[in-house]
Copies of this chain bind each other. A is one copy, B any other.
Amino acid sequence: MKLREVKPEIRVLGVDDGHYGPEDDRTLVVGVVMRGGKWIDGVMCTEVTVDGLDATDRIAEMINRSKHKPQLRVVLTDGVTFAGFNILDIQRLHEETGLPVVAVIKHEPDLSSIISALENLDRTEERRKMVLRAGPVYEATTKPGEPPVYFQCAGISPRVAELVLKRTATRHRLPEPIRVAHFIATGITKGESSSGA
């Protein structure tokens, strides 16, 4: 699906992962369906392996089995690293769900330090390719007078992705669906949410 317009009540899925401790093999990933960054329409979840390679498959399954899928127009994720260095391949997530995907973070990502860190894990080359396949990092000012956010996108032009970010950054410069997914994922895994995605 090609996203051509960004309606005020656009249905967006925000995705973020929970906390995990040294003894945990897996952690929770939460998806929140919101309308235009204002109203919550649903919550879904899955689990991914710490430092594993299953984030793309698990998140694609979670989206594809959801009853909200027909209404969803775009998926916003908190960056491309889940549960440590379980890299989300945003191109493949786009292909497998048919939805545009925008990975958003608060600080400019240091791709070279991510790539160096991958040296300590198995299947380094595979992970490195997934990081690079996420493509160029763009910058968007979602709240005038505040620092920008940074994003990578798949199946959507950077121009339209920026409109989605502006539309859904209703309270904070990060899109509200990502903030709420963060509150839920950390609230459930830690007993109480930590602030900020």
CB <8 Å contact, B43 and A183: yes
CB <8 Å contact, B171 and A67: no
CB <8 Å contact, A193 and B43: yes
Q: Does A75 contact B (CB under 8 A)?
A: no
Q: Which of A128-136, A154-162, A184-192 contacts B (4 or more CB under 8 A)?
A: A184-192
Question: Given A40-B180, A45-B187, A183-B42, is A66 in contact with B171 using a C-beta cutoff of 8 Å?
Answer: no
Of B28, B66, B186, B192, the contact of A66 (CB 8 Å cutoff): B192
CB <8 Å contact, A40 and B183: yes
Return chain B residues, CB-CB under 8 Å to A171.
Answer: 39
Of B28, B45, B193, the contact of A42 (CB 8 Å cutoff): B193
* Residue among A41, A42, A46, A67 with the highest chain B CB neighbour number at 10 A: A42
Return chain B residues, CB-CB under 8 Å to A67.
Answer: 192
CB proximity of A159 to chain B, nearest CB, Å? 29
24 contacts between A and B (CB under 8 A): A30-B188, A39-B171, A40-B179, A41-B183, A42-B183, A42-B187, A42-B193, A42-B195, A43-B184, A43-B186, A43-B187, A43-B188, A43-B193, A44-B187, A44-B192, A44-B193, A45-B187, A45-B191, A45-B192, A46-B191, A62-B191, A65-B192, A184-B188, A188-B188
Q: Which residue numbers of A lie inside 8 Å of B, CB to CB?
A: 28, 30, 39-46, 62, 65-68, 171, 179-180, 183-184, 186-188, 191-193, 195
A-B contact sample (11 more), CB < 8 A, given A40-B40, A40-B180, A44-B191 = A30-B187, A30-B188, A40-B179, A41-B183, A42-B195, A43-B186, A43-B187, A43-B192, A45-B187, A45-B191, A62-B191
Can you list the 6 inter-chain pairs with the closest CB atoms, starting with the nearest?
A43-B187, A44-B192, A43-B193, A43-B183, A42-B193, A43-B184
